[in-house]
Amino acid sequence: MRILLIKSCANNRLTILSVIVFVILLLLNLSTAFARKPSIRFSTAVELPQTGLRLNIMPDAKEVPMAMPRIYTYEIHSKDTKQPVMRVDAYSALELWRRSQYEAGWMDKFSNSLIVAKMKGLIIPEARDRHIPVSEIDKVTNTLWQIVEWDDTSRIARWVADFTGVKEAFPVEIKHRQGQFSEVYSFKLTGAPANWLAYSFKLRPNMFSRRSSEENWFFILVEVHPEIDIQQARKVVESELLGSIGWGRGEEASVDVSRVFQKKDATKEGTEHAGNIEDMRSMVRESIKNLRDWWYIETPHYILLSNLDTKYRSAVKELQDKIEILYSVWQKLMPPVSEASAGVIRIFKDPGEYIRYVGEEYEWTLGLWIASRQELVIRPVDWGGTKERMGQMLRVIYHEAFHQYLFHALDRIEVSPWYNEGHAAFFENVVFDGRRVNVEEDREKVGVIEKLARDNALEIGLLLQMSLAEFYAGDERAKLTRYSLAWGLIYYLRKGVPASGNEQYAGILQTYRDVLLKTKDHRKATNEAFAGINLAELQREMSKFWLSQRLRTKAQKTLLVQEPERKTSL
């Protein structure tokens, strides 16, 4: 028996680097050019309802929830080659521990960031490098770390080093600086960026707070914009931030702000749910427990996490029905070969938040399916009214949700870009009439296809052999051309072929799926799906279709499937 660690997914659309600290990774190297000189202040008072602390944060700072934990996938091969390969998903024990300590985070317009953590216990040394199978999380989580007394500064230093990912942390006691602290330390961090400021502290009891009797230590990490003088920043942090910290009123606010957005019957009893929905829900709730602007809702197969305003309430409730109807359509068109897995959909209120989350490499995108974190990330549009903005976001959600569905439905096998991106673009244009579903033409891409058809430039052969890197390469115009060509091919095969009566092309998509599942090789699947097909003739037939208003009108009336049935558990 041999065990191989493979990439989190072969066709992952976004490569996530190994985390040092999962939230710090999000906040590192995110400085943005601003007209004003960067500065740092702490003047906006907040209370962390689930933690009991009150403190000042940076003015106009945005809340930063934790990212979903990265999934590491192992393949287990039997000596008996006839036995199927087993796949095991696992989480990093260190990342799970860090998530358990994390309380809240913020970032301001100058990319200064603040993280607050509660020192609940130490991770045991032998667990630092362990990967825990997802199926065993509930059984072993409590064995990965231990509750300790913080009467030894070496334990505090070890906690800080493990949480921040540095080699060593050296505490320096700050004496008599702030009367509200029993003890407070700053830290020299070996191997940390020069613009990090780290502190741990224990508050004195407060008779007005029911939390103050707890023997809790806390930790704060400030990442300062590199253009700000670090010594000046230290003075500001110690006077304005440390000086503001104290016990809050101790009122626990419910994290279920989602009641405003949650559709009551979206998760009604008796509905079939994804097998991991409870685990995903728990992680999402934990990630926003102290954040007032963030909320979540759930459907049988999705958890939507966002900080959108309540003006989007109606659209979000509408989405809860539509995404599940679309899911049932996908199940009929492309039956899954593995158990359904819940997907997290993260929608940002501000485009800048999205860019900071995905990185500058993907600044051009409107959304991403991050398979390594089982998460769809959606960028909001900043044009038009509420209806136009939500309409565009829905298109992106349907696009990325298809990638998520296909990832699981085809057992994580790498899929050809023409098939994967073509279908995702195809389903952007889904329309709903009750539970009846149809797919319309794409207004932008159809213009590109018409021009290619007129110019006899539908280069299907090149498209079919493109790698993912080749598909995404080039400027915006090149990307649009390739997306349009992939969309045009899928639209033709799904709707144009029945309308045109070209039955010789009717089996291409099914053959591709069958061969892909059998061989796990998307190139072989493409070659066999188009074996015996004259590509020049296919291009002529496609051109004829796209230049015929009669055939296109007929195709638009062609439904993909009959009205989806409501799924209930047996």
Residue 547 pLDDT exceeds 60:
yes
In this predicted structure, what is the pLDDT of residue 72? 93
Q: 18-27, 67-76, 286-295, 449-458 — which one is most confidently predicted on average?
A: 449-458
User: For the chain, what is the largest distance between any 2 Cα atoms, rounded to a whole number of angstroms?
Assistant: 85
Q: Pick from 126, 156, 158: which is nearest to 144 by CA? A: 126
Contact between 43 and 59 under an 8 Å Cβ cutoff? The reply is: yes
Both tokens of 521, joined, read: 């090789």
- Model confidence at 569, in pLDDT bands (50, 70, 90)? very low
The one-letter amino acid code at 286 reads E
Name the band, by pLDDT with cuts 50, 70 and 90, for residue 30.
very low
Residue 508 has pLDDT above 90, yes or no: yes
φ, ψ (nearest 5 deg) of residue 291 = -105, 120
The SS3 call for residue 172 is strand
Report pLDDT for 269: 46
The two beta strands, 102-107 and 113-119, are: antiparallel
What pLDDT, on a 0 to 100 scale, did the predictor assign at position 371?
86
| pLDDT at residue 271 greater than cutoff 70 | no
For residue 143, the tally of other CB atoms under 10 A from its CB is 11
Distance from the Cα of residue 105 to its chain's centroid: 17
DSSP state of 496: I
Q: Which residue in the block uniquely carries the two structure tokens 């009439």? A: 433
For residue 3, the model assigns a pLDDT of: 35
Percent of the residues in the chain that have a pLDDT greater than 90, as a whole number: 59
Of 443, 445, 460, 447, nearest in space to 540 by CA = 460
Beta strands in 20-69 (DSSP E): 44-47, 53-57, 62-63
- Average confidence score pLDDT of the chain: 86
More confident residue, 260 or 20: 260
d(CA 421, CA 480): 12
Confidence of residue 97 (pLDDT cuts 50, 70, 90): very high
Q: Is 526 exposed, middle or buried (0-12, 13-18, 19+ CB in 10 A)?
A: buried
User: How many Cβ atoms sit within 10 Å of the Cβ of residue 4?
Assistant: 10
Lowest mean pLDDT among 168-182, 217-231, 358-372: 168-182
Token pair belonging to 123: 């991770």
Rg (CA), the chain: 26
Q: What is the mean pLDDT of residues 40-50?
A: 94
Tell me the mean pLDDT in the region 205-234: 83
Q: What is the average pLDDT across 128-149? A: 86
Going by pLDDT thresholds of 50, 70 and 90, the confidence category of residue 176 is low
How would residue 266 be classed by pLDDT, with cut points 50, 70 and 90?
A: low
Q: Is the pLDDT of residue 211 over 60?
A: no
Mean pLDDT for 475-502 is 95
pLDDT at 40 over 70: yes
Query: What are the angstrom distances between the C-alpha of 269 and each of 149, 301, 331?
Result: 44, 14, 21
DSSP H helices in 367-439: 386-409, 417-427
- Region 538-557: mean pLDDT is 96
**Where do the domains of the chain lie?**
2-8+21-247, 413-570
Strand partners of residue 185: 173, 200
Cβ pair 219, 186 in contact under 8 A: no
Coil vs helix vs strand at 405 = helix
Element (H, E) at 72: strand 71-77
Q: Concatenated DSSP letters for 514-529?
A: HHHHHH--HHHHHHHH
Taking the complete model, does pTM exceed 0.85, yes or no?
no
Residue 282, H or E segment: helix 277-287
Q: Does residue 556 surpass a pLDDT of 60? A: yes
Q: What is the mean pLDDT of residues 445-458?
A: 96
Among 147, 209, 230, 149, smallest CA distance to 183 is for 149
- The residue assigned the tokens 């799904």 is 494
For residue 14, is pLDDT > 50? Answer: no
**Tens digit of pLDDT for each residue in 395-440?**
999 999 999 999 989 988 999 999 999 999 999 999 998 888 999 9
Other beta carbons within 10 angstroms of residue 559's beta carbon come to 12
